[in-house]
């Protein structure tokens, strides 16, 4: 995708809107209301080439325009995001529980990406991979746009060795260590991922490290909610999980019961320097 014609502002890039076609002012007003109309009239909306949209602009279906979004009211996540490592190419952070990796839905400013862009002054910072909002631990970012694809491909191709720690109940009759392998599907609009018949696409090596319920989880694939689904399938859901095995309604501002899941260690061969990189979280589980 080509670079946005508007720069990152206060840690946030512009919103990209694909048009249905016709007068732009009328369409944006119909879809997003008076605030969008006001932005057009104030000259704050541009097309893909950076030309300012005005009240007479007409664009075909499939064209895109860009504008800065109005931020929703968000409950501040009351935890720091320590930086474990930084150089010219990457930033490695220790993401806390409850902080989303990047803007999505109602989580915009209260995300690891925006907070780090603001604190480090790196407008092109981008995540090389993602962690669930409720999962804490090691998270890698690239510092410049031209590096993003190389690191993201590394994670997408499964060339990164990851280790997680989790807390859960202990069942004395459960034989561990073991491999859990099945087919996991996460459908849009559904909170839970589900296991379905078919060719397996998810695999996790699960070990019990201590009798008080500390587990080491080594995923060999990276499906959405994979570790949470696999632990719940064994009858030992991860402590503090509001989705598995059952959905629990937790208020947005309740930070009292974190999911006891930590991305504790990652290792990979750096695609730029060739060095073997190992990063370990300093957070407790």
Is the bond preceding 221 in cis, omega lying within 30 degrees of 0?
no
d(CA 60, CA 83): 45
Tell me how far CA of residue 243 lies from CA of 185, 223, 224, 240, in angstroms: 15, 16, 13, 9
What residues have CB less than 8 Å from 23, skipping those under 6 apart? 56, 57, 58
80 Cα distance to chain centroid = 17
Token match 């092109």: residue?
124
112: part of which helix (H) or strand (E)?
helix 112-120
Between CA 152 and CA 138 the distance in angstroms is 15
SS3 228: helix
The beta strand positions in 156-239, using DSSP E, are 161-167, 178-185, 194-196, 202-210, 214-219
Q: Which of 132, 212, 269, 270 is catalytic?
A: 132
Cβ(91)–Cβ(83) under 8 Å? yes
For the question of residue 132 being annotated catalytic, the response is yes
Rounded Cα gap, residues 31 and 208, in angstroms? 52
- Spatial CA neighbour of 161 closest among 230, 216, 240: 216
* Active site amino acids: 132
């Amino acid at each position: 995708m080509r670079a946005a014609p508007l720069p990152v502002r206060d840690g946030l890039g512009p919103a990209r809107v694909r048009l249905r076609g016709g007068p732009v002012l009328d369409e944006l007003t119909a879809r997003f209301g008076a605030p969008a109309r006001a932005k057009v009239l104030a000259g704050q909306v541009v097309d893909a080439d950076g030309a300012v949209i005005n009240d007479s602009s007409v664009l075909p279906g499939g064209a895109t325009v860009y504008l800065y979004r109005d931020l929703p009211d968000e409950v501040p996540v009351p935890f720091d995001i320590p930086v474990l490592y930084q150089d010219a190419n990457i930033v490695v952070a220790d993401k806390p529980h409850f902080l989303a990796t990047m803007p999505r839905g109602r989580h915009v400013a209260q995300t690891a990406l925006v907070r780090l862009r603001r604190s480090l002054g790196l407008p092109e910072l981008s995540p090389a991979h993602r962690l669930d909002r409720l999962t804490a631990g090691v998270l890698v970012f690239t510092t410049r746009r031209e590096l993003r694809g190389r690191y993201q491909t590394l994670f997408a191709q499964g060339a990164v060795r990851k280790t997680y720690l989790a807390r859960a109940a202990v069942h004395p009759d459960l034989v561990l260590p073991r491999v859990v392998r099945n087919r996991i599907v996460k459908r849009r609009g559904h909170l839970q991922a589900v296991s379905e018949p078919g060719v397996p696409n998810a695999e996790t090596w699960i070990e019990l490290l201590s009798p008080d319920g500390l587990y080491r989880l080594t995923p060999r694939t990276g499906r959405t909610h994979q570790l949470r689904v696999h632990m719940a399938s064994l009858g030992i859901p991860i402590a503090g999980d509001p989705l598995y095995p059952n959905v629990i309604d937790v208020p947005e501002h309740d930070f009292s019961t974190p999911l006891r899941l930590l991305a504790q260690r990652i290792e990979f061969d750096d695609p730029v320097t060739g060095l073997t990189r190992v990063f370990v979280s300093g957070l407790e589980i």
